[in-house]
């Protein structure tokens, strides 16, 4: 006897729809390893339908005064709060995340971020207009771009969807968003929530659309002639593919890709406090975070003390069931990700030492133990490449110059942190670290008002903040003669 699976559907032009050809994929709960739903495997005809809906809705949505778009987003934020338990349940099943942590660490910032961009909708600023040529006045218009094709990742399906749709809608664009094929449930629910608000307030249903599918579906979205912009949060490989595809018709591209954050710990820092904070920032969400504190560089004089304390913290960090309130993180997202993390551990060089963890936990689901690896060299695979799992590496450095060289000696450039009581050193390091964010004596806090985005192979464009809002607008110069 088999248990029937819940049927997830695309949300296009205000309606739930199956893929036109009826194809589906199974959606697995990573905490159990069992399928719990099916989702559409959307093809070109489904993408066409979503793009047509978004394109048709764009003129009316673009032409709304910003205050009206603000009303929509504020009501969406209210609905997120009202339906928080539904969103939490969907995300927990999507990702195997601890319910208590989704409730405390994801819902509040998501609501706050939507409200921030609701306010940003009314702050479409340009540089001063005026007369820069005799007899003419110049005016700057900041306008929406058009239809945005957006691809969200599986590590934070709900929150990354918010980071994409909130600035896009606030600026007057319409959206077609594709969740990861492993985590579609919460995004489909978001589609229904936004669609109901649009309907209530009398706006076109096609302003926001959700298309489920795989990489091929994402490719079809990016290469489709309708969108004026493609936005993706994902791997470096996926970002390169999107940039290449978008180049065929010169779409604007917004990329938030991988990371390998250096965490530079100097000998004068409070080691106990640093270990406490770094272990949380490294293991939260099973290390499946582009900004995770998973590459630690420690000054040699306190290296052994730090490693011993971090190994102890790892041993005391708990992973497990979604309803266990003592759990810090849940499983890895899928079987392939578990295989990848195991592969990094299996391929460790002989000089590396596993100080804690290093193994799968249990025989059901995709859980992996909090892990600490020491004795590593700068050119080791696990130092140079993103593990995206609950694995913290530790290297020993001698002085500030060496720490800075090793910190920057990486292809990624998303986030970093410096741990020291020396203010001048913190300022020198923050100036020279080649990363989009530098935290000092902390790691991983984000606020809606400040930008998030990296350099080098971590991509380009900003999420959050007024800078992220600007990315979803275009600038037009209007010049008028004063002669009448």
Q: Which two three-digit tokens encode residue 220?
A: 């079809």
Spacing of C-alpha 77 from chain mean position:
19
Name the one residue in this structure whose structure tokens are 């913190």: 426
Query: Which ranges in 147-258 belong to alpha helices (H)?
Result: 157-170, 185-200, 215-223, 236-247
Cβ(259)–Cβ(291) under 8 Å?
yes
Cβ(414)–Cβ(458) under 8 Å?
yes
Q: How far is CA 408 from CA 301, 434, 437, in A?
A: 22, 6, 13
Q: How many CA atoms lie within 13 A of 31 on its CB side?
A: 20
- Measured at the CA of 181, the angle between CA 178 and CA 184, to 5 degrees, comes to 65
End-to-end alpha carbon distance in the chain: 81
Cβ(415)–Cβ(261) under 8 Å?
yes
Q: Which two three-digit tokens encode residue 254?
A: 């917004």
C-alpha span between 269 and 12 (Å, rounded): 53
C-alpha span between 258 and 294 (Å, rounded): 13
Q: Sort residue 33 into left (φ over 0), alpha (ψ -120 to 50) or beta.
A: left
* Dihedral, 19, 23, 25, 26 alpha carbons, nearest 10: 100
C-alpha span between 228 and 300 (Å, rounded): 51
- CA nearest neighbour of 332 among 300, 295, 279, 288: 288
Q: Which two three-digit tokens encode residue 100?
A: 């208590």
Catalytic residues: 256, 290
- CA nearest neighbour of 234 among 458, 463, 462, 10: 458
Q: For the chain, how many helices (H) and strands (E)?
A: 16, 25
C-alpha span between 211 and 232 (Å, rounded): 14
C-alpha span between 4 and 17 (Å, rounded): 19
């Amino acid at each position: 006897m088999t248990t029937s699976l819940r049927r997830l559907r695309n949300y296009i032009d205000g309606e739930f729809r199956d893929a036109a050809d009826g194809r589906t994929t199974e959606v697995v709960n990573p905490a159990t390893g069992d399928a719990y739903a099916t989702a559409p495997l959307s093809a070109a005809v489904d993408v066409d339908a979503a793009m047509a809906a978004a394109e048709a809705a764009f003129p009316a949505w673009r032409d709304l005064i910003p205050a009206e778009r603000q009303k929509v987003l504020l009501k969406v934020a209210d609905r997120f709060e009202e339906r928080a338990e539904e969103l939490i349940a969907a995300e927990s099943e999507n990702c195997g995340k601890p319910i208590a942590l989704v409730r405390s660490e994801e819902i509040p910032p998501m609501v706050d971020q939507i409200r921030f961009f609701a306010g940003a909708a009314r702050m479409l600023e340009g540089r001063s207009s005026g007369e820069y040529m005799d007899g003419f006045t110049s005016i700057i218009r900041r306008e929406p771009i058009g239809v945005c094709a957006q691809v969200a990742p599986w590590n934070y399906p709900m929150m990354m969807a918010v980071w994409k749709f909130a600035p896009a809608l606030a600026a007057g664009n319409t959206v077609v968003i594709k969740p990861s094929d492993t985590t579609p449930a919460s995004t489909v629910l978001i589609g229904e929530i936004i669609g109901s608000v649009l309907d209530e307030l009398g706006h076109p249903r096609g302003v926001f659309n959700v298309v489920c599918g795989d990489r091929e579906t994402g490719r079809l979205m990016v290469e489709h002639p309708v969108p004026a912009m493609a936005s993706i949060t994902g791997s470096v490989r996926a970002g390169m593919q999107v940039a290449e595809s978008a180049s065929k018709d010169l779409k604007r591209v917004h990329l938030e890709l991988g990371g390998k954050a250096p965490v530079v710990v100097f000998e004068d820092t409070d080691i106990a406090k640093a270990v406490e904070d770094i272990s949380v920032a490294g293991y939260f969400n099973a290390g499946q975070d582009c900004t995770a504190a998973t590459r630690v560089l420690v000054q040699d004089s306190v290296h052994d003390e730090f490693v011993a304390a971090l190994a102890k913290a790892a041993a005391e960090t708990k992973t497990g069931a979604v309803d266990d309130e003592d759990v810090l993180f849940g499983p890895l997202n899928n079987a392939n990700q578990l295989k990848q993390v195991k592969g990094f551990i299996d391929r460790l060089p002989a000089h590396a030492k596993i100080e804690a963890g290093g193994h799968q936990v249990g025989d059901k689901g995709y859980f992996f133990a909090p892990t600490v690896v020491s004795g590593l060299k700068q050119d080791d695979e696990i130092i140079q490449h993103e593990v995206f799992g609950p694995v913290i590496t530790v290297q020993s450095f001698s002085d500030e110059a060496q720490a800075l060289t090793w910190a920057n000696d990486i292809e990624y450039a998303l986030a970093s942190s410096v741990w020291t009581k020396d203010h001048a050193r913190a300022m020198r390091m923050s100036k020279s670290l080649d990363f989009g964010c530098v935290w000092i004596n902390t790691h991983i806090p984000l606020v809606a008002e400040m930008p998030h985005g990296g350099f080098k192979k971590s991509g380009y464009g900003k999420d959050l903040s007024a800078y992220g809002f600007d990315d979803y607008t275009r600038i037009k110069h209007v010049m008028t003669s004063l002669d009448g």
